[in-house]
A and B are shown apart, each in its own frame.
Chain A
Amino acid sequence: MRAIIRQILVLSILAAIPALISAYIHRDLFQTPPLAPDETTWEQTAAWQRAAATRILLIDARDDNAYAAAHAPGALPLNEAHWERQLPAVIEALGAAADTRIVVYCDDTLCGASRAVAVRLRRELGHTDIFVLKGGWRSR
């Protein structure tokens, strides 16, 4: 009996060693990356909207078909493929309130369109209060 227990213990230890090494190597699996300074979440955006101190303008950076299928309430479409056509509506919306915070989203974490749109809005319009929504539309 003692021999069996000893074998089980040894087996468990032997199995644990590579498991611990693997867990250490892939430790990012267990960690949620922190938000970058210009990133936000749906929860934070909703809190900003409830606080009402700053008007929130949601920008949908996905392609036109995705926007037409579904989008966040009040979101305006703006993607680089149709930039010139869609930009005037965004400028109009920016002018509707003194202080407006823009939150740009695209599809998910692998989608870079929201960041590209945010960069271009900063460059072309000089608007600096812009956040990128981490996780995008699929994280709602």
Chain B
Amino acid sequence: MHTPLHILAMTFIKCPRALRILPGALVIVFAQTTALALDWTRTEIEHRAGIGETLPLYQFTFKNTGDRPVVITNIRPSCGCLAPMPDKETYAPGETGSIAVTFDRAGLVGEVTRTIAITTDEKNRKEPYQLTLRANLPEPLTIAPRLVFWKSRSPAATKSIDITINGGGPVEIERATSNRDDIGAALVTLEPGRRYRLDITPRDTETPRLAIITLQPAVPLPAGTTLTAYAQVR
């Protein structure tokens, strides 16, 4: 049985002038080995969410521009917070499709980048397609830094943590409480409803210990809002 390559080779041997088509054949081979079947409308989505907002359903759409059906063999999100769902498994040439992604923001804050790796049965593609979701998930307030510490037997000097209310209306912080008597926390109002400072002072630095300082806002904030800071003698 003659393979196409065999037939091609025999053609070249019997008719050397056929070698003239070789450059064109190589271009075709090159194009075959570099072509991507799935042409994505976009592979990155950026979203700036509101405070406490539930994130919408994100859609990544594509078209199979190849000449063979493409099967999505695996979809791998970079975290458990993403739930990607293709509208089907196999896409015929010329067919369009989409990956719908739900994004659970629980526990996530700030600039968050998450990816989804899409693996297909395309022979000439080693790496999966990579889809990226960039979300800005603002916190109602920022505590920076969240941890202050003293090395054991170092001076028990006061250290400060800044509290900034982000966007929206002002949020009054009524008080800050430490869960330990031997590490004190004093709340200083810099700009009512906007900026505060926590001054934290350990009674001594003889014994390693950890204090959790909890902020008490005057009004309830969205679930999951960070309201704790840490002070440690280590």
- Does A80 contact B8, Cβ atoms closer than 8 Å? no
Cβ contacts under 8 Å, A80 to chain B? 79, 81, 107-108
Chain B residues within an 8 Å CB radius of A96: 208, 234
A92 touches B210 (CB 8 A): yes
Query: Could you tell me the distance between the alpha carbons of A91 and B79 in the complex, rounded to whole angstroms?
Result: 23
Interface flags for B16-59 (1: CB within 8 Å of A; 0: not) read 00000000001001100110000000000000000000000000
CB-based contact A95/B5 at 8 Å: no
Nearest B residue to A17 via CB reads B26
Selected from B8, B30, B151, B226, the residue in CB contact (under 8 A) with A14 is B8
B210 touches A21 (CB 8 A): no
Give per-residue flags for B96-124: 1 if the beta carbon is below 8 A from chain A beta carbons, else 0.
Answer: 00000000101110101111010000001
Contact of A95 among B113, B226, B232 (CB under 8 A): B232
Smallest CB separation, A110 vs chain B (Å)? 5
Q: Does B88 contact A (CB under 8 A)?
A: no
Interface of A is mostly: helix
In contact, A95 and B210 (Cβ under 8 angstroms) = yes
Cα A18 to Cα B34 with chains together (Å): 12
- A124 near B147 with CB under 8 A, answer yes
Q: Is B221 an interface residue (CB 8 A)?
A: no
A116 at the B interface (CB under 8 A): yes
Q: What is the distance, in angstroms, from B113's C-beta to the closest C-beta of chain A?
A: 8
Compute how far the CA of A14 lies from the CA of B29 in the bound complex, rounded to whole angstroms. 12
> Judging by beta carbons under 8 Å apart, are B13 and A125 in contact?
no
Q: How far is the CB of A75 from chain B (nearest CB, A)?
A: 18
The one of B33, B112, B208, B234 in contact with A21, judged by C-beta atoms closer than 8 angstroms, is: B33
Question: Is the CB of A138 closer than 8 A to any CB of chain B?
Answer: no
Asked if residues A14 and B5 are in contact (CB atoms below 8 Å), the reply is: yes
Contacts of A14 in B (CB 8 A): 5, 8-9, 12
Chain B residues contacting A43 (CB-CB under 8 Å) are: none
**A98-B234 in contact (CB<8A):** yes
Contact status of A7 and B233, CB under 8 A, knowing A83-B107, A110-B78? no
Q: Nearest residue in B to A125 (C-beta to C-beta)?
A: B147
Q: Which residues 136-170 of B sit at the A interface, judged by CB distance below 8 A?
A: 145-147, 149, 151
CA distance A12 to B26 in the complex (A): 15
Known: A10-B13, A22-B33, A29-B126. A94 touches B234 (CB 8 A): yes
Binary CB contact string for chain B from 48 to 79 against chain A (1 if under 8 A, 0 otherwise): 00000000000000000000000000001011
Starting from the known contacts A11-B9, A22-B33, 13 additional A-B residue pairs (CB-CB under 8 Å) come to A10-B13, A14-B5, A21-B33, A80-B108, A81-B80, A81-B107, A91-B210, A95-B233, A111-B78, A112-B115, A113-B80, A125-B145, A126-B145
Query: Which 8 pairs of residues, A with B, have the shortest CB-CB distance?
Result: A112-B78, A95-B234, A18-B29, A124-B146, A80-B107, A11-B9, A125-B147, A81-B107
22 CB < 8 A contacts A-B = A10-B12, A10-B13, A17-B26, A18-B29, A26-B33, A26-B124, A26-B126, A79-B107, A80-B81, A80-B107, A81-B81, A81-B104, A81-B106, A84-B228, A88-B230, A91-B147, A91-B210, A98-B234, A110-B128, A112-B79, A116-B114, A126-B145
* B residues at A contact (CB < 8 Å): 5-6, 8-10, 12-13, 26, 29-30, 33-34, 76, 78-81, 104, 106-108, 110, 112-115, 117, 124, 126-128, 145-147, 149, 151, 208, 210, 212, 226, 228, 230, 232-234
